[in-house]
A and B are shown apart, each in its own frame.
Chain A
Amino acid sequence: MWLRTLDTLFFLLFIVILVFTTHGIAQAPTVRFVDGESKTLTDVESTLHQGIIYLPVETLKTVFDPEMTHPYHHPKKQLTLKTKGKELRLQMGETTVNIDSEKEPFILNSPPRVLQGQPMLPIEFFQKVLPRLDDVAVLYNRTLQRVRIMPKTVWAPETTDDTHEWVIIIDPGHGGKDDLGCKSQNGVIEKDVVLAVGKEIQRLGNQQGLSIRLTRDQDVKKSRIQRVQTTNRNQGQLFLSLHCNASFSPNHKGMRLYINNPNGQLRFKAAPIPVFGKKRLNILTQANFLKQSQDFASVLQKELNFLAEDPIVISEFPIIILADVYMPAVLLELGYLSNVDDATRLSNPNHIVQVAETIVRAIQIYSVSVNQSANPNGL
């Protein structure tokens, strides 16, 4: 009897220890730094203090400036950073950052601190201060703990004046009471997710001066022909169809990109012939844009990889929604509603915003690259 009680107690103790240790690990994440091409620069062990992620000052040398010097005055707890021809002064425990090239000090939300015997910087420093020191944009993915530092030339919204003329068609798939698309076990529905993402892309894109049209802006049924008509009538320069994926295995997860290619991984019997039978003629039209569609998909892939646990795959199949669209066109599957983690993510409004932001950035990068390309006719 006593033995059994003792056993139970030990078991409970073991569980408690297990929970605490795993909890501890989850609390201080490893932060991955990636470059503009989404290649890993380094993985850094962080320290957690009052819910804020702190990184060693040394990290800056690996991810930003190998030439940087960072003398630290121990008694005064003063850190000086000399980098990119500028000098920054930080006081441990204080939120002000004095940059010699700027009149006003920059104010952080959380101060740098001495943790584990060394001066450390809050992750916010990387996000907000680095763009003031060099021509870089810094993105932070809180979910996957990734920081992407890329040259501003990769993403330069201020140079996208030409894209004002661009019309981008976003096609939230499915819709109406008959066509819900796929659904998760806990009731997340494809048509709702893709509409939310589409609307967010429109809102953010319009803020950036892009002209974004939706093939549907509410929960209504739209036939494929109606969508194609909206698209071609608006003379868009880009077409992006938004969907949520499903599989017969709950293990399938992540985003996927598809391009219409009747000679891709599945092949049509005959290569489309330009006869005046409507269907065949239309298939040929999207074939004219295969290269541009591949380019657009690559940009989306590169940008969205920042949000993805595993690298996103681009596949080429005969895709019906893209078949009759007369412009570069890509189908994006945002995640699997048949996968618990993906479904949870896709019902999180923050994730929706993050995905929309990333898509808008990809559209900008693609449009800039097209406008900058040697081809004077652009598209």
Chain B
Amino acid sequence: MQYFRKIVHSRLFVIWGITLVTIIICLAVTLVLISHAKRIRIVDAPPKLPTTANPTDIVPAPQQINIFLLNPTSLEIAPVKAELSLYPEPTKRLKQIVSALIQEAPPDYRNPIPRGTLLNEVYVDSQKTAYLDFSHHLADGHIGGTTAELLTVTAILKTVFDAFPNEIKHVQILIDGREKETLAGHLNLSQPLRF
């Protein structure tokens, strides 16, 4: 009897132990995945393939792109690698990439896009001008100052031109569907811009 109890006890012990270890491993894996996902910044999850598959909606494997953020030490707008499952269709791809720029920056960088900014819509015209329509936060939430305005615009333009070197020649920033002459009162945004 004693012997039997001992066996049961030790068995219970082993089972509990295994369960605990499993839980810990699961937690660790989840944490790693979450932090990894943050770093990768997958913006739009790849769409589920519809039964009548539209060939332009088929999403290839994740691709590496550059988004441009402020390095607070060098004070340069510098490229940061991000991985996105990009749509092949350029307008959708543009929207994905600019949306990736708006996300929270990695710890070593500062995002020059005001928090809360949303990308409403994008459009590229026949003259290769990209119209990026942001929510009012881009202007209303801006910290002001000529430098900060330049950093914001530079980050947007560099990110777009890096991803579309041939397809986009100019960028026009819009706020809630309209041209706005400036974000914070200094830089003139009334026309499409390039470097």
Chain A residues with CB under 8 Å of chain B are 173-174, 179, 181-182, 190, 224, 243-252, 256, 258, 260, 262, 265-270, 279, 317-321, 323, 331, 333, 336-338
Contacts and interface: CB of A to CB of B under 8 A. Distances in A.
B193 A243 contact: no
Interface of B: 70, 72-73, 75, 110-112, 129, 143-148, 150-151, 153, 157, 170, 181-182, 184-195
Contact of A320 (B170, B185, B192): B185
A182 B148 contact: yes
B193 A245 contact: no
Contact of B181 (A173, A250, A320): A320
B145 A262 contact: no
B143 A248 contact: yes
B34 to A, nearest CB: 26
A71 to B, nearest CB: 53
Given A248-B111, A251-B75, A320 B144 contact: no
Given A246-B143, A258-B186, A317-B188, 13 more contacts: A243-B145, A245-B145, A246-B147, A247-B147, A252-B75, A269-B129, A269-B170, A318-B187, A318-B193, A320-B181, A320-B187, A331-B186, A333-B147
B145 A333 contact: yes
Given A247-B147, A256-B146, A268-B193, A181 B188 contact: no
B186 to A, nearest CB: 6
B185 A181 contact: yes
Contacts of B195: 265-267
B124 to A, nearest CB: 14
A209 to B, nearest CB: 32
Nearest to B193: A266
A126 to B, nearest CB: 36
11 contacts: A245-B145, A246-B147, A248-B72, A248-B151, A251-B75, A268-B191, A269-B192, A279-B190, A319-B146, A320-B185, A338-B143
A173 B185 contact: yes
A245 B146 contact: yes
A117 B157 CA distance: 64
Contacts of A260: 188
Given A265-B195, A267-B194, A318 B146 contact: no
Given A243-B186, A270-B191, A320-B188, A333 B72 contact: no
B147 A321 contact: no
A256 B147 contact: yes
A266 B75 contact: no
